[in-house]
Amino acid sequence: MAYLLKNLTNSIWHAFYALQGDTPGIVAKSKLKVLTANFGTLMDLYGVEKGLDDYRSTQWLTFDQFLYYLQNEVFASISDATPMQTCRLLEERIEEICWLVSRKAYADQKHRVFEDRSIYQLFRIFCLLAEMGTHNAESSYLITMHSNEVAQISSQLVTSLGLHWDSSDFAELSAALTAFRFPTFLAVLESKYSGGGTLDTAAVAEAIDDLYQIYVNDVIKKGYLIKKGFLLPTMRYYWFVLQPGKLTYYKDAQQKDPAGVITLNVNCWADAVKDSGKLDKQFILSSPDNKALELVADDHRGRLQWLAALQIAIDHSGDRIGYQRSLAMQRRSMRLAKKQLKEETGMELQHERQARIAAELQARKLEALSREEGAKVQELEEIKLKLERLLEEEKQALQDEEIVRNLQARVLKEEWERREQLEKLQQEQQELLESERLKRLEFEQKQQENELKLQEAAARLEQLESERQGLDAELRSVREKVRQAEGAQILLEAQIVVTRPLRGGERIRRTQSMIPTSKERSDAIEYLKDRVTSTQEDIHPVT
């Protein structure tokens, strides 16, 4: 249960504060392991302190870190199903351990007025009513009790001891003290509100024990009542102790052995009984499970007090936090609300003062303005007309703006379409460029092939030119030979004419056989011409 650790936070802080070394705000893990082991033993959790070695890498812990470890590793074993009586017992035993750790700083001092048990009881009362709040230079937190709570405890103690309570004197004391820590609280009670050591120690111890019963044990009311027996109608005095959820009665006020316990819940009720002779004193306590319990108080006032107390005990029978603790929380909430209301009231008064001054200034201004009001009526009318025109212009401007927005939307749409077209054209252009690049590469390849062919043709041309020149030379030599042959033919013909016919006929024939005929000459000439022509035809296509 989270509320159990919350109830014990103040007590654990005192134990943590007592274990501090030279460095404030931190405690070594070795010391905290002992404290954690004691807590675990009470809850039947053995070895729970060993987890501190693995919890964080430092050898020390702050109070927040230690509280977080307790919440997750120790108090996590307490659930909502845990009986309330078990939780109360655990709370009491854990606070005893915390007191044993921190008592040296509070009880082991000289000239103590209160007994050790009384100091322990005041320690538990202080931890119940104190608040954890203001940051301190020595530690992370400071546990203090509000002056109203100290005044309540002090006044009850003074009243129980039969002394006079001076509220004005306590107001001066609380104004002089900045905060009521436990040493301060203890010193104030010992020095001012316990008789200063002049009263009987037993009486002081009894008064403190009464406070302990009220605040720690949630005793709402206690006293003698007459109880009617269940079996026999006998009336007998018993000492009754009323707490939330139960009414216990004893044979005497020593409260040693209970004679009976009556469980209270929301289904119980208490009513006054109007009977002859007991009109103002008798009342009855009823419940659906138990028989009606007839009780008689000492007087009418006592009966009213017991009836009111029983109703409180019935209403808080299922309260796990505790009756006095809940009352302390309510008082704390009321103090915070009053403080906030006071601050808000102060701010409201300041605002009202400022508003009043502003109203006075405004009234003066209005008085001055009222004199000029008549002259400004016409001006206001003109301003009204101007405002109307401006309103019309503004409406027109809004319409124009709407038109412009539509145009902008249209332009944006067109721009978007153009952008898409441009992207499409860009893509087509890229495709064209790619095709042109491929064509250029093909053209360059063909150009290289043509250049190779041209080089080959040039070489072939040179070869044919050389052949043509050779043929030309051959043709010229052939023509020269033909010319010489013709000259020789003419010469031979001349010789044939002058030669005698008889002897010369035979020699002429032999000579004619050696000289080519005209047909042979013409054939040779034609052959040479054909050779030159074919050579020229071979050269002409290439060029």
328: which 2 tokens?
């302390």
Q: Are residues 285 and 348 in the same domain?
A: no
Backbone dihedral angles phi then psi of residue 199, each to the nearest 5 degrees: -85, 165
Q: Are residues 386 and 524 in the same domain?
A: yes
Residues 6+ apart with CB under 8 A from 140: 25, 62, 63, 64
Host domain of residue 474: 374-542
Q: Are residues 366 and 227 in the same domain?
A: no
pLDDT reported for residue 543: 39
For 6, the enclosing helix (H) or strand (E) is: helix 2-18
CA dihedral sign, ordered 391, 394, 399, 400: positive
Examine the fold and report which residue of 191, 215, 239 is the final residue of a domain before the chain moves on: 215
pLDDT reported for residue 66: 92
Of 274, 260, 271, 263, nearest to 311 by C-alpha is 271
From edge to edge, which strands make up the β-sheet containing 282-286?
258-263, 246-250, 235-243, 221-228, 293-296, 282-286, 269-272
284 strand-pairing partners: 271, 294
How many independent structural domains does the chain possess?
4
Cα–Cα distance for residue pair 296/223, rounded to 1 Å: 12
423 burial via Cβ count (<10 Å: 0-12, 13-18, 19+) = exposed
Q: Residue 426 in 3-state DSSP?
A: helix
Q: Are residues 416 and 435 in the same domain?
A: yes
Count other C-beta atoms under 10 Å from residue 16's C-beta.
Answer: 26
Q: Are residues 168 and 192 in the same domain?
A: yes
Q: Are residues 211 and 228 in the same domain?
A: no
For 541, the enclosing helix (H) or strand (E) is: helix 518-542
Q: Are residues 397 and 412 in the same domain?
A: yes
Q: Are residues 179 and 236 in the same domain?
A: no
Tens digit of pLDDT for each residue in 209-234? 999 999 999 999 999 999 987 777 78
Q: Are residues 226 and 204 in the same domain?
A: no
Count other C-beta atoms under 10 Å from residue 270's C-beta.
Answer: 22
Q: Are residues 136 and 267 in the same domain?
A: no
Tens digit of pLDDT for each residue in 442-489? 999 999 998 999 999 889 888 988 888 988 888 888 888 888 888 888
> For each of the chain's 543 residues, which pLDDT tens digit applies?
567 888 899 999 999 999 988 888 899 999 999 999 999 999 888 889 999 988 988 999 999 999 999 999 998 888 878 888 888 899 999 999 999 999 887 766 667 788 889 999 999 999 999 998 765 545 568 899 999 999 999 999 999 888 888 889 899 988 888 789 998 999 899 888 887 667 788 888 999 999 999 999 999 999 999 998 777 778 899 999 999 989 999 999 888 889 989 888 888 988 887 654 555 788 999 887 767 888 999 888 999 999 999 999 999 888 878 889 889 999 999 988 988 888 888 888 888 888 888 888 888 888 887 778 777 788 888 888 889 989 999 899 899 889 998 998 999 999 899 899 999 999 999 999 999 999 999 999 999 998 999 999 889 888 988 888 988 888 888 888 888 888 888 888 787 776 545 444 544 444 444 555 666 667 766 776 676 676 666 655 443
Whether the model pTM is above 0.75? no
CA dihedral sign, ordered 262, 264, 267, 272: positive
Q: Are residues 380 and 311 in the same domain?
A: no
207, 157 in Cβ contact below 8 A? yes
Examine the fold and report which residue of 321, 342, 357 is the final residue of a domain before the chain moves on: 321
144 strand-pairing partners: 131
CATH for 264: 2.30.29.30
pLDDT reported for residue 502: 45
Q: Residue 224 in 3-state DSSP?
A: strand
Examine the fold and report which residue of 215, 240, 269 is the final residue of a domain before the chain moves on: 215
496, 509 in Cβ contact below 8 A? no
Q: Are residues 296 and 349 in the same domain?
A: no
